[in-house]
């Protein structure tokens, strides 16, 4: 198959080239590839954007479901393991996501193992977006800074605990969060990064010197930056300024204008350079609720308005409520980023920042995963391993 007449995003720019692929990988990129090719083997993009299939590295769930048993919502009693996981994976291509890192919150170990087994089974079935790797947003968090609703579930990092947590299988663990001030953090961080796992700094009260030490130990990214960190103050050292000064770190950022003010996002981009920023949604089980107020057994009333889900009484934001395509629009309309900046942050940067080499960029030899979008970031077509999975 060949996609022609697209604005193809490659290496930070849009290019007027054709892309040829089979059911596994991209096999050619260039001009005039459609000569002597049957019409049935050609997709005319009609001038729209063509991106590599999007990689979402921080997503807890969405569409009223999560990847794990969530003790703080109706999902606790109704979690249906493999069926819930597959439901999310089948929905994601509608929004351009072809690869996702299911992100597990701080839960009892038995619930985490249950979720891991369901995700791994779903990966074998391949019924939607690929749950390529797993992201652990905890439990090695500072309980004084953690969003975890049960601080007793925050524990000190150790090899023994981690192996129980991952069901004795590190082969598909991509990211694990760490507050580097915790006892045992250095030994654990050096061990886990030696296994090929990215350590993200987050939910911490450490200072800039500790951030530097964590990078020395192998930490190379952050969880959703600014969120989960102590607020920056000009008279106080802290993790935020430490991360901004540390060139070895990349940043996840939620570009919806709620989680992070637009000027802070621009500051991060200017300080770090845009190639070290990658977009996420942080979608959660509340994603998909219509605007209004809802009763919740744990939080009390929650309020949903224009993509923001928050506890009415305290204003605490409850994960993300915008799908990948909406995030791209908000990055333009609310944050004020241009089309190249948006394409970098959401298109190629997840793979670049996490050193993913088999997908996430339109390049010969990478997976034939694509998202065709109009200029308003509406998904027109999503292709997974060479097959059209979703078409508007």
What are the tens digits of pLDDT across the range 194-213?
Answer: 999 999 999 999 999 999 99
227 DSSP assignment: T
Residue 263: predicted pLDDT: 97
Residue 318: predicted pLDDT: 84
Residue 132: predicted pLDDT: 98
> How far apart are the C-alpha atoms of 344 and 279, rounded to whole Å?
9
143 DSSP assignment: T
Chain centroid to Cα 68, Å, comes to 16
Each residue's pLDDT tens digit, 335-370: 999 999 999 999 999 999 999 999 999 999 999 999
**Contact assessment for residue 316 and residue 310, using Cβ atoms and an 8 Å cutoff:** yes
Decide if pLDDT at 16 tops 90: yes
**Contact assessment for residue 367 and residue 90, using Cβ atoms and an 8 Å cutoff:** no
Q: What global pTM score does this model have? A: 0.96
**Contact assessment for residue 328 and residue 49, using Cβ atoms and an 8 Å cutoff:** no
Please provide the distance, in angstroms rounded to a whole number, between the alpha carbons at the two ends of the chain.
Answer: 19
The phi and psi torsions of 269 (rounded to 5 degrees) equal -65, -45
Residue 387: predicted pLDDT: 97
Q: Is 302 exposed, middle or buried (0-12, 13-18, 19+ CB in 10 A)?
A: buried
129 DSSP assignment: S
Task: Identify the residue with better confidence: 313 or 164.
Answer: 164
Decide if pLDDT at 64 tops 90: no
Residue 286: predicted pLDDT: 83
How many other CB atoms sit within 10 Å of the CB of residue 79?
23
> How far apart are the C-alpha atoms of 153 and 185, rounded to whole Å?
17
Decide if pLDDT at 72 tops 60: no
Sorted by sequence, the CB contacts under 8 Å of residue 84 that are 6+ apart come out as: 61, 65, 66, 67, 75, 118
* Sequence ranges of the chain with CATH classification 2.30.40.10: 2-51+367-391
> How far apart are the C-alpha atoms of 392 and 370, rounded to whole Å?
14
User: Mean pLDDT over all residues of the chain?
Assistant: 94
H or E segment at 252? strand 250-253
Q: Please name the fold of domain 53-353.
A: TIM Barrel (3.20.20)
> How far apart are the C-alpha atoms of 299 and 318, rounded to whole Å?
10
Cis check for the bond before 231: say yes or no (omega within 30 of 0): no
Residue 213: predicted pLDDT: 98
Decide if pLDDT at 106 tops 80: yes
* Sequence ranges of the chain with CATH classification 3.20.20.140: 53-353
Q: What is the CATH number of domain 2-51+367-391?
A: 2.30.40.10
H or E segment at 390? strand 387-391
């Amino acid at each position: 198959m060949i996609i022609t007449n697209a604005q193809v995003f490659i290496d930070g720019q849009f290019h007027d080239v054709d892309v040829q692929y089979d059911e596994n990988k991209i096999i050619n990129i260039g001009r005039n590839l459609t000569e002597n090719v049957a019409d049935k083997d050609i997709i005319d993009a009609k001038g729209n954007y063509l991106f590599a299939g999007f990689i979402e590295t921080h997503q807890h769930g969405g569409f009223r479901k999560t990847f794990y048993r969530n003790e703080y919502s109706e999902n606790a009693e109704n979690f249906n393991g493999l069926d819930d996981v597959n439901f999310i994976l089948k929905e994601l291509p509608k929004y351009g996501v072809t690869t996702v890192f299911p992100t597990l919150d701080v839960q009892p170990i038995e619930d985490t193992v249950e979720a891991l087994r369901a995700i791994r089974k779903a990966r074998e079935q391949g019924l939607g977006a690929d749950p390529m790797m797993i992201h652990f947003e905890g439990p090695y968090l500072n309980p004084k800074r953690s969003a975890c609703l049960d601080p007793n579930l925050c524990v000190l990092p150790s090899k023994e605990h981690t192996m129980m947590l991952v069901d004795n299988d590190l082969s598909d663990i991509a990211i694990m969060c760490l507050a580097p001030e915790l006892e045992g953090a250095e030994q654990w961080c050096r061990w886990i990064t030696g296994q090929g796992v990215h350590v993200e700094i987050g939910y911490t009260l450490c200072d800039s010197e500790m951030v530097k030490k964590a990078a020395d130990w192998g930490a190379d990214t952050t969880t959703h930056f600014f969120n989960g960190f102590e607020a920056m103050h000009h008279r106080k050292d802290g993790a935020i300024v430490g991360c901004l000064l540390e060139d070895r770190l990349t940043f996840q950022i939620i570009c919806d204008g709620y989680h992070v003010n637009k000027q802070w996002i621009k500051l991060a981009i200017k300080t770090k350079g845009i190639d070290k920023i990658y977009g996420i949604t942080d979608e959660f089980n509340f994603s998909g609720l219509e605007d209004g107020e809802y009763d919740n057994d744990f939080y009390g009333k929650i309020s949903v308005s224009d993509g923001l889900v928050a506890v009415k009484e305290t204003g605490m934001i409850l994960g993300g409520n915008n799908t990948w395509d909406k995030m791209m629009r908000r990055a333009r309309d609310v944050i004020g980023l241009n089309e190249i900046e948006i394409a970098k942050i959401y298109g190629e940067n997840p793979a670049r920042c996490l050193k993913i080499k088999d997908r996430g960029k339109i390049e010969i030899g990478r997976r034939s995963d694509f998202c065709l979008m109009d200029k308003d970031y509406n998904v027109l077509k999503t292709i997974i391993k060479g097959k059209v999975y979703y078409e508007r």
